A and B are shown apart, each in its own frame.
Chain A
């Protein structure tokens, strides 16, 4: 089946062409894997299956790495010693790291199926969600639906006008001109005179002032589109393209109960293979093998050593650059060239799901020009009469750096303040929250490797190449940076090459 799909170039978008095959006898060769994130655990799982002796050293006391969910009762201590106790109700969670699985990320979906991780749809685009700018429309948020309908409508109208005025004669033939005009009417909800304006057509896109009803109260009232100039100046249109991005197109999935379910499932599968609480302090290779020196991550104490014939190292470059490792100059330069980007996520628990109850927002994302960047609504437990956790902030860039410089309590307080400008219910309904700033996450020191085209040209191949007995894997060694799919594809590619090297040696 999978072969057929691959042959039709159907399953190949992410570079995953079906379950990995590692034929040939490794003759008892051993592999030391550093890091029990998805890359490391995937490597351990597949190499063990292929006949290798495997062991993993992991800094945390749990499997998953950035595949991680925080639940009520959890305690999280970030760098600097700031500790947060998560007070969410049972069943509610925050995914501090990844939260989406696009339908074409075949590797991660493959392992979810293999490990019986139950998936459910993740709503990316919700036309009833909001788009907000503190500088437009008096700071009042607009429904995504209205912004999208009005923007498309005006663009269609303008293009139709140009076409009718003969301004596109050089670009389109007479025949295409007719087709284009028809397309603009349909796409932009234009009337017979190719105008986008208040009426039934536009209201069927942007929504009505009052909806159609039944019986004697059935006449709907059309809504008034925003003025084109206001809409353009508002900048709100910049949010409506999000769902067009390949990774954000429907259908997207999430594991039921939190993203961390994938890491937990891998961890169960690798029971006994993972040494938790191990902080690697030195990685040394010679002709015979690789030795990692480690200490207890919490207690310190005497260094211990783990040894194997080969090593798959998935430690993030931000951390690995600080660990003595005798790899060649090119790989070391590649490791040292990668800093990790800033990102922050804040989870906020509310007494009731007011976004559903008051505003009919079921899942999806609202966007804002405030430092919290967006509000993510849970894509699960719809209509629950219990409490709910919103993603109250998810930022990159300068705002994320600024969030990291705040205490965890301030991160939560700021997110509540920003969110209340969009949903005034925040003020009454907020209960508690947790804020994870990735530069303070002890085992990654940032969210994901910062690549530029220039850095890729200079270092990417050196980062991925096998150096003696060591090969690196993780999202940083992929062209899908920060995606779990990238971590898995990197791992599969690394062990495929490593296996060939082992068989040849």
Chain B
């Protein structure tokens, strides 16, 4: 959790967060960018919050899917789409990540935790997959 917040953004977050904290208008939750740049840093800094450090997923009243040894990752555009757009309980991160960050974390996931896919995605591919945004 690097404190590299650009001041204006960070302070906008302070006020936005207090607004959201009260939860007056959840529509306006802060859209900030993550500082983590490498796939590993993004995984460990953000993704493992839900998918867990070993990518084993977790179960409660609902579940976070296990991504270790996950055959659904075979198509490299699939995780890109999920990261960008979200899916059910999975938030959309399209606004929080650059194309390069999305490519980094997808490539990290697809080559770790028992996943051995050899066709990395490029930031250009990510860019092309961003919907109308």
Binding site for B on A (CB under 8 A): 59, 79-81, 98, 100, 133-136, 235-236, 238-239, 241-242, 245-248, 279-280, 297, 315, 318-319, 321-323, 336, 339-343, 365, 367-371, 373-374, 394-399, 401-406, 414, 437, 439-446, 448-453, 456, 480-483
Contacts and interface: CB of A to CB of B under 8 A. Distances in A.
Interface string B48-64: 11101000001111111
B75 interface: no
Contacts of B12: 238
Nearest to B25: A481
B128 interface: no
Q: Which of A79, A280, A322, A439 has most chain B Cβ within 10 Å?
A: A79
A405 B46 contact: yes
Q: Which 7 A-B pairs have the closest CB atoms?
A: A442-B60, A482-B23, A404-B49, A235-B11, A481-B26, A397-B30, A79-B58
B14 A368 contact: yes
Contacts of A449: 26
Contacts, number: 197
15 contacts: A241-B15, A280-B61, A319-B60, A339-B89, A367-B18, A397-B31, A398-B34, A398-B96, A402-B45, A437-B49, A443-B61, A445-B60, A446-B91, A451-B26, A480-B24
Given A79-B60, A297-B61, A441-B60, 17 more contacts: A81-B58, A235-B10, A242-B15, A248-B24, A315-B61, A321-B62, A339-B89, A342-B91, A373-B13, A396-B20, A402-B45, A440-B58, A450-B91, A452-B27, A481-B23, A481-B26, A483-B22
A336 B22 CA distance: 25
A247 B19 CA distance: 9
Contact of A369 (B14, B19, B26, B91): B14
Interface residues on B, range: 35 or more
Contacts of A98: 23
Given A339-B88, A406-B1, A397 B63 contact: no
B16 interface: yes
A313 to B, nearest CB: 13
Contact of A414 (B1, B29, B33, B46): B1
Given A341-B26, A399-B13, A405 B48 contact: yes
B29 to A, nearest CB: 6
Contact of A321 (B33, B46, B89, B92): B89
Contacts of B68: none
B14 A398 contact: no
Interface string B92-123: 10001000000000000000000000000000
